[in-house]
Amino acid sequence: MKYVETGGVRISAIGLGTWQFGSSEWGYGAEYNRVEAGNIVRRALELGINLIDTAEFYGFGRSERIVGKAIRDHRSEVFIATKIFPIGLAFMTGWRARRSARRLGVDRIDLYQLHWPSPLFPPRATMPRMARLIEEGLVAHVGVSNHDLREWQQAEEALGRPVLSNQVLFNLVDRRPERELLPWAQQNGRVIIAYSPLGQGLLSGKYQDSTPTNLVRRRRGSFSTANRARLAPLIAALREIGSRHGATPAQISLAWLIRKPNVVAIPGASSVRQLEENAAASEVVLSDEESARLDSLSA
């Protein structure tokens, strides 16, 4: 496993996203939540993945509980990241963090992230509370998610110290973080956590010929017939480059992301097999020419 070391942390370049756990919208069912999800977490740790990302919002606490149960005997191997959803009021921050920690079964959250910017959670109200959680030892690092550069910097100013990471939509079909967020993170020792790094499965190529039925994908314009047709040349290139590396399109998509300094990716997985495939993407090294080809097809 490759690791990103910056800002006082060492996190795996491939992490594990757990929105799928306990969430009805992904539709993976009770057996997945009861058995497979825990197996996915434990196998991830065996393969050297330490970054596990969850949120109080995922399955309304169920994802945190599933993760908590799976890491019970492995606390020292995990860099646990969770998020506070900006509904309610900012003064609830400490109480909500303690509830997340309890569901996770930990006495310290390694990375506590503000899930979205919101006028209900302005940095001047939220970040001093986050700073207090750091002083109390409940939180090790603060992060944000879905913040633009100005919002990220405002959060830092209000926190009075670095906001380690920004978790954003970043993949071969959405490259907006490359404009401002990534250069700033690279220059200042911060981390970009790429969510939906597989375009929610789109970049695996397996949905090219069939309209997906699950609720998450039906809501996305990116899965429309027209968009899938538009992406055909990119998917073909992922397949072709993959065949040279003995890798799948999903692995090439992840390898393209994590070759960028200060970027980690947190793919979700519907099975242990997918998790293993995603972890192995950390060993795929793309050439400059291959990466440039993917750049040109995704511009």
Ligand X SMILES: NC(=O)c1ccc[n+]([C@@H]2O[C@H](COP(=O)([O-])OP(=O)(O)OC[C@H]3O[C@@H](n4cnc5c(N)ncnc54)[C@H](OP(=O)(O)O)[C@@H]3O)[C@@H](O)[C@H]2O)c1
Catalytic residue IDs: 58
Part in contact with ligand X (CB under 6 A); list of ranges 96-104, 175-183, 228-236, 270-278: 270-278
- Write each residue from 44 to 63 as x if it is in contact with ligand X (CB under 6 A), else as -, in one continuous string: ---------x----------
Residues making up the chain, counted from first to last: 299
Instruction: Give me the amino acid identity at 225.
Output: T
- Residue number, 146 or 262, with CB nearest to ligand X: 146
Q: Is position 165 an interface residue for ligand X (rule: CB under 6 A)? A: no
CB of 203 to ligand X, least distance (A): 7
Could you tell me the end-to-end alpha-carbon distance of the chain, in angstroms, rounded to an integer? Answer: 29
- Give yes or no for residue 163 binding ligand X (CB under 6 A): no
Interaction pattern, residues 137-156, with ligand X; x per rule: CB under 6 A:
--------xx----------
According to the binding rule CB under 6 A, does residue 33 interact with ligand X? no
Single-letter amino acid, residue 112: Y
**DSSP 8-state code for residue 198:** T
User: Which two structure tokens, joined as six digits, stand for 2?
Assistant: 């490759």
Count of residues that interact with ligand X, criterion CB under 6 A: 27
Which one among 100, 154, 165, 274 touches ligand X, defined by CB under 6 A? 274
By the rule CB under 6 A, 100 interacts with ligand X: no
- Does residue 223 touch ligand X according to CB under 6 A? no
Among residues 160 and 176, whose Cβ is nearest to ligand X?
A: 176
Near ligand X by CB under 6 A: residue from 33, 196, 222, 262: 196
If one asks whether residue 164 binds ligand X (CB under 6 A), the answer comes out as no
Contact 251, 290 (CB under 8 A): no
CB of 98 to ligand X, least distance (A): 21
Report the nearest approach of ligand X to the CB of residue 273 (Å).
8
Residues lying near ligand X in the complex (CB under 6 A): 17-20, 53, 115, 145-146, 167, 195-201, 204, 206, 250, 266-270, 274, 277-278
